[in-house]
Chains A and B, each alone.
Chain A
């Protein structure tokens, strides 16, 4: 999570207002508060995570993302962030729309299903991949929408979502040359900054 936090943080304007969808234990918000003086809220469904956020003094709103973001006004945040969450929601497309309605920009990170280890496990063993970023078995995984970088970029094109910035991390979670040359093959985690004209 650490390199991901730092990279996201670099994309964020100091003092911005941020909404973190599926904020977990609030680590990102706490990091951004400290390094970018951001204000904002995290939405989280898990009780234990909500408690953890309260403990660390992060503003957390106990909510189900699947119910949408109707409580939030248009462009009421500078950034709406979804780290490692998009693959676990049912209403993927609707949530992307909501994200870019509520936020002037969106930041999305997800595990790349096109990562070579995933491909190998299917190709060689004929089994659903189990990798560091997708550590679950097929029958108990919360990740119900698995997709690759190319899948995501196709969707963005179709939905006329602008990709403002992209960083792809390799298996060591570093943005090195390999994933820059062959992102969909050597990238394990993808980070996107999105906008809509």
Chain B
């Protein structure tokens, strides 16, 4: 049987690994002596290497952004497959698309589950805290390795959008376009509060063992599951949950039991999400990346003047927000736009009506995808006219 992937799919993909021997100095003051980064690419890099697009993943994402791993058992495609492929908004016929698993991750790039060369044991909680700036620097080294001196675009949603912003700030001449989707200039106290509850859920799990749970052959399942369930509530909107679950009862009636089995559909959904997450994600990585989020604050490097952070940037920006997103609400995206306007930068902003909450940035909402498609078609025209 030949593979039966849809025609607009990138099809079968294989992750690659890049090993880096040159030490990476981190914001926290520590240094990673050596590290690996796992990444995937789709499409073809053109002759003058100007059509590369970097996709930055969010908290629980990874390098597998589009396509399938197995012809015989395709299962689910990469996490943003609805947006990336031949003829899709991020069109792989025009662009060479790159996505890597960030440092500190748990999908192959060096992180808490990797072996610490110093003591031949998993890093666990000894893995250094990495920041968005560290990620951007490590991604720049991967770009060097791939021969990409300037990205046609850096694109990301949520924490990925923060990386897209940081790229334009850290490497002004290496980013032509920065697409910042459902992001924020920095976390609010409420955002940090949710992260803190998620962390406490993990830290207080008896199986956590101060982060050294690998040595005990256990994982803090309950804590990580709780953290994910809490996270999921913040990714959805009130109206979205009402539309999806309402007050539907699984058995059609209330049982008035004191055993707290799942009665309402929404309970069952959250438990399912929590369970599924524990099987694919590492608790130390979750802890680490929530801190990465908390620490992100470009304005801090510019005397608390967020606008000043963009004074040196050269990229054109597209900022997109979703109406029902209350985790990083449209008002937060408008803060980004305001800072860019004050800095005199090129920026467009679209606010997409949606009831999917923060999760909307992963959904194939027509208006949203049309905005991406229009914008990137223009980027492709630019790249081609330069090449001609």
The answer to whether B347 touches A61 (Cβ under 8 A) is: yes
The answer to whether B374 touches A51 (Cβ under 8 A) is: yes
Interface string of A46-67 (1 = CB under 8 A from B): 0100110111011111110000
Interface segment among B72-80, B213-221, B348-356: the answer is B348-356
A58 to B347 Cα, complex, angstroms? 9
A53 to B298 Cα, complex, angstroms? 29
Q: A71-B337, A72-B341 are in contact. Are A51 and B349 (CB under 8 A)?
A: no
Chain A CB within 8 A of B318 CB: yes
Closest chain-B Cβ to A18's Cβ sits at a distance in Å of: 12
A13 to B374 Cα, complex, angstroms? 30
The answer to whether B338 touches A54 (Cβ under 8 A) is: no
Chain A CB within 8 A of B264 CB: no
Closest chain-B Cβ to A74's Cβ sits at a distance in Å of: 12
Identify which of B341, B342, B346, B347 gathers the most chain A CB atoms within 10 Å of its CB: B341
Q: A51-B367, A51-B370, A55-B377 are in contact. Are A61 and B342 (CB under 8 A)?
A: no
The answer to whether B349 touches A62 (Cβ under 8 A) is: yes
A58 to B218 Cα, complex, angstroms? 55
Size bin of chain B's contact surface: 20 to 34
Closest chain-B Cβ to A175's Cβ sits at a distance in Å of: 34
Closest chain-B Cβ to A56's Cβ sits at a distance in Å of: 8
Q: A59-B348, A60-B348, A71-B337 are in contact. Are A54 and B375 (CB under 8 A)?
A: yes
Chain B CB within 8 A of A73 CB: yes
The answer to whether A41 touches B367 (Cβ under 8 A) is: no
A63 to B350 Cα, complex, angstroms? 8
Chain B residues with CB below 8 A from A62, complex form: 349-351
Chain B CB within 8 A of A137 CB: no
Chain A residues with CB below 8 A from B378, complex form: 54-55, 57
Chain A residues with CB below 8 A from B367, complex form: 47, 51
A62 to B349 Cα, complex, angstroms? 6
The answer to whether B341 touches A41 (Cβ under 8 A) is: yes
The answer to whether A53 touches B348 (Cβ under 8 A) is: yes
Closest chain-B Cβ to A154's Cβ sits at a distance in Å of: 34
Chain A CB within 8 A of B334 CB: yes
Chain A CB within 8 A of B143 CB: no
The answer to whether B349 touches A61 (Cβ under 8 A) is: yes
Chain A residues with CB below 8 A from B370, complex form: 51
Q: B337, B344, B353: which contacts A61 (Cβ < 8 A)? A: B337
A72 to B341 Cα, complex, angstroms? 8
The answer to whether A59 touches B347 (Cβ under 8 A) is: yes
Identify which of B338, B348, B374, B375 gathers the most chain A CB atoms within 10 Å of its CB: B348
Chain A CB within 8 A of B230 CB: no
Chain A residues with CB below 8 A from B341, complex form: 41, 61, 71-72, 76
A73 to B339 Cα, complex, angstroms? 11
Q: B318, B337, B344: which contacts A54 (Cβ < 8 A)? A: B318
Interface set, chain A 1-22, CB cutoff 8 A to B: 17
Closest chain-A Cβ to B163's Cβ sits at a distance in Å of: 22
Closest chain-A Cβ to B133's Cβ sits at a distance in Å of: 27
Chain B residues with CB below 8 A from A17, complex form: 344
Closest chain-A Cβ to B4's Cβ sits at a distance in Å of: 34
Chain A CB within 8 A of B371 CB: yes
Closest chain-A Cβ to B310's Cβ sits at a distance in Å of: 14
The answer to whether B347 touches A71 (Cβ under 8 A) is: no
The answer to whether B374 touches A54 (Cβ under 8 A) is: yes
The answer to whether A71 touches B338 (Cβ under 8 A) is: yes
A72 to B339 Cα, complex, angstroms? 10
A39 to B347 Cα, complex, angstroms? 11
Q: A71-B338, A72-B341 are in contact. Are A59 and B346 (CB under 8 A)?
A: yes
Closest chain-B Cβ to A29's Cβ sits at a distance in Å of: 11
Chain A residues with CB below 8 A from B342, complex form: 73, 76
Closest chain-B Cβ to A23's Cβ sits at a distance in Å of: 11
Q: In this complex, what residue of A is CB-closest to B353?
A: A47
Chain A residues with CB below 8 A from B318, complex form: 54
Closest chain-B Cβ to A82's Cβ sits at a distance in Å of: 18
Closest chain-B Cβ to A117's Cβ sits at a distance in Å of: 38
Identify which of A51, A53, A73, A76 gathers the most chain B CB atoms within 10 Å of its CB: A51
Q: A72-B341, A73-B342, A76-B342 are in contact. Are A54 and B371 (CB under 8 A)?
A: yes
Interface set, chain B 136-152, CB cutoff 8 A to A: none
Q: In this complex, what residue of A is CB-closest to B318?
A: A54
Chain A residues with CB below 8 A from B375, complex form: 54
Chain A residues with CB below 8 A from B338, complex form: 71
A76 to B343 Cα, complex, angstroms? 10
Interface set, chain B 366-388, CB cutoff 8 A to A: 367, 370-371, 374-375, 377-378
A57 to B385 Cα, complex, angstroms? 15
Identify which of B337, B346, B350, B367 gathers the most chain A CB atoms within 10 Å of its CB: B350
Closest chain-A Cβ to B90's Cβ sits at a distance in Å of: 15
A55 to B342 Cα, complex, angstroms? 24
Closest chain-A Cβ to B202's Cβ sits at a distance in Å of: 38
A53 to B346 Cα, complex, angstroms? 13
Seen from chain A, the residues whose Cβ lies within 8 Å of a Cβ on chain B are 17, 39, 41, 47, 50-51, 53-55, 57-63, 71-73, 76
8 residue pairs from A and B, CB less than 8 Å apart: A50-B350, A51-B370, A51-B374, A54-B374, A54-B375, A55-B374, A59-B346, A60-B350
